[in-house]
Amino acid sequence: MPPVRGTSGTQRLPNNEVVSEKHAVECLRCGTFRTIERERTARLDPGECAKCGYLGWALVADLSEPVRRTLRERPPERRGRRLHAV
């Protein structure tokens, strides 16, 4: 069944129960983009980046260009730690 207009990739059953959602994610090490699909109740787990092997991902919509630049400049061993706004 095609997505319902305005649901941006969300598939719906006839009773409007959400089955799965698509999310655009970006690797926090190399910047590779990927679209993943998950069930509504499942944890978002993109797994390992096919390009660099890194496990850190963020939703593309959550990253601004200044945040991307800050992440690229951080050493990989510190990227798993939270960034704190100053």
Residues 19/38/10/61 CA torsion (nearest 10 deg)? 150
Q: Where are the beta strands (DSSP E) in 9-77?
A: 11-12, 18-27, 33-39, 57-59
**Cα dihedral across residues 63, 67, 72, 77: positive or negative:** negative
pTM of the model: 0.59
List all residues 6 or more positions away from 40 whose beta carbon is below 8 Å from its beta carbon: 18, 19, 20, 21
CB atoms within 10 A of CB 18: 14
**One pLDDT digit (tens) per residue for the chain, 86 residues:** 455 555 555 555 555 565 678 889 999 888 899 998 888 777 878 889 999 988 888 889 989 999 888 877 877 666 555 555 54
